[in-house]
Amino acid sequence: MPYTSRLRNFPADHFQNRELGILAFNRRVLAQAQDERMPLLERLRFLCIVSSNLDEFFEIRVAGLKEHMRVRASGGSIDGLSAEESLASISAAAHDLVTAQYQLFNEVLLPALASEGIRFWRRSKWTEAQREWIRSYFWREVAPVLTPIGLDPFHPFPRVLNKSLNFAVELEGKDAFGRNSGAAIVQAPRILPRIIRLPDEVADAAHGFVFLSSVLHAFVCELFTGMTVLGCYQFRITRNSDLWVDEEEVTNLRATLQGELSQRHFGDAVRLEVADNCSPVMAQFLLEQFGLQERDLYRVHGPVNLVRLMQVPDWVDRPDLKFTPLLPGLPKNLGKMKSIFDTIRQGDILLHHPYQSFTPVIDLLQQAAKDPKVLAIKMTVYRTGTDSELMESLIRAAQNGKEVTVVLELMARFDEEANIGWANRLEEVGAHVVYGVVGYKVHAKAILIVRREEGGLSRYAHLGTGNYHPRTARLYTDFGLLTNNEEITHDVSEVFKQLTGLGKALTLKHVLQAPFTLQTSIIDAIRREAEAARAGKPARIIAKMNALLEPQTIEALYEASQAGVNIDLVVRGVCALRPGVAGLSGNIRVRSVIGRFLEHHRIFYFLASGKELVYLSSADWMDRNFFRRIELAFPILDPKLKKRVITEGLRFYLRDNQLSWMMDEQGKYQRKHPHRSREFSAQNTLLQSLSKGEIT
């Protein structure tokens, strides 16, 4: 690629391990499930989030390390560990995390839920009425779609789908054909629910549930007539799910990607989860079948897939056991005019999600789709979901004769299929669909609208830190800017020209763009603060992001710290920088905020001799964002809005002593506590100040 990280050989002890940092983040998420101050059903949800995160961690990060070893690739991580050393450390930390998860689930959450009338009935506790209903359910709904597979030379071990529920059955005796293989596999089709709600008449609780795994365990013997079932063990295999497409070789990216998607379920195995009662012989047999080692085996006391419990809070009508719903607010000026274009012309509008509604972004596209003055709409799409009002508006706009251009990232991990579907629908109505630039993911979040107005054509833009996904806009913290500023919208227009056409990258007036100017501009801004500090002037850097990994940027921060710059970093997830190291990073503090909402906005603040430069961005400070993605960082020019970003997005988080964790030089995190200061939560404060109030 023409743009790659210009790495030097920095000392390995300057950096933390990326994979261990991801696991440490999930420890902090698990702490939310452990926190008795949290509503009970939300604690269950946090437990499920940890499992979901671990699934992706194994599918992508662990899979990548195993592939690194398989091809004998040279080099290791920036902290100096080889792939083999990283895998060994990961295994120990991940096993500890999973043990803590299931201990919390069994010893704390299940009893607490039961005390609230939410029961997950184990087989040993079924009443006779429950057993009869479950038996009937098994024969009516489950048995007809099962295909038990006996293992013998004519029936080899079946292909097992990624993250599917399966059962290994140990048998004794001969079947109708005189076969005695001693083992069989029963695969649970994905159409079957993993959690079954019991009807009120047999639930024996306000809300009664049984796991599909319990149902199959109870009646699996009836699938093997005349044979003795010696053991039945649920298991789940996690596979490499990272798609690889040589974009420079393919002639049709969409068609090639569609072919690859079908194989995602059958990538190389990376993790085996089994029930804790699985016999050593069967566990070893399964490891051999999937080419895994003992360290890849995770024995769990309970369902092998806790993610499926995520739906339970939605099934249970107990508002007292959940977060109180919120009604997002709106900036006051947005409620005064019917035309959103008139409102934006009067001044930039800053939206702080989820505390403020995502509706203005939807309204922008809906109005543009039917406004006869609108000539063209351009938009980048990374993640938007399978059901999107925004995409429907683009389709209507194209049907209404607007010039619609969508730069749609087909390689957005785990959203590839949804994005292919939108590409098909958009092209059917005549929209221009562009898949970005070969070798780079388009991760920028931008909308550009061209409108004919008195005096000529005018441009409007939306720029954001988060995806155009209305559902996650209610769960993730993000900023969005609606602007009619001529210089900003000109920059955005130039970016779209690059993405859809050919030509040299022009210098933009305000917007920083990866892979061209973003990383170098950030490092230059850091170095200017260092120069100010050396000259005895005030110097300050505050940055908030999801991840901090890029070595050059970290080294620049170290140099600034040594120069005397006061630096605060709010990094939700993995951070490779080591804060508080004497002589290296003594002036740097790193904190992570984990709460009800997923912290997602990226904000970069530099004192800049009192000018206070503030950028919002779609990019974290990572190699991939700086050098292998198309990203934007845009300044907040309006003084009032700049003050809002500094206060709401940065200073509130530096004050937080409820949801904040401080990182030490070894990568360990300690939760902050009020001590003598008053309790302060950034998220709760923003809920109270920006939302319309809580719905009771």
From 443, 469, 600, 601, the catalytic residue: 443
Q: Report the C-alpha gap between 544 and 557 in whole angstroms.
A: 14
> Other CB atoms closer than 10 Å to residue 507's CB: what's the count?
8
Mapping DSSP to helix (H, G, I), strand (E, B) and coil, where does residue 657 land? coil
Residue 443: active-site member = yes
DSSP track, 399-468: HTT-EEEEEE-TT-TT-HHHHHHHHHHHHHTT-EEE--BTTBEE---EEEEEEEETTEEEEEEEEESS-S
For residue 621, the 8-state DSSP code is B
For residue 109, the 8-state DSSP code is I
Q: Rounded to 5 degrees, what are φ and ψ at 546? A: -85, -35
Helix axes 359-370, 389-399, angle to 10 degrees: 10
DSSP track, 580-618: T-TTTTTTEEEEEE-SSSEE--EEEEE-GGGT-EEEEES
Q: Residues 386, 421: contact at Cβ < 8 Å?
A: yes
Q: Which two tokens stand for residue 477?
A: 């913290």
Q: Rounded to 5 degrees, what are φ and ψ at 597? A: -105, 150
Q: Which two tokens stand for residue 435?
A: 């898949």
Where residue 422 falls (left for φ over 0; alpha for ψ -120 to 50; beta otherwise) is alpha
CA-based torsion, 512, 513, 514, 515: positive or negative:
negative
Amino acid at 311: Q
List CB contacts of 139: < 8 A, sequence separation 6 or more.
Answer: none
Amino acid at 666: Q
Mapping DSSP to helix (H, G, I), strand (E, B) and coil, where does residue 485 land? coil
Active site residues: 443
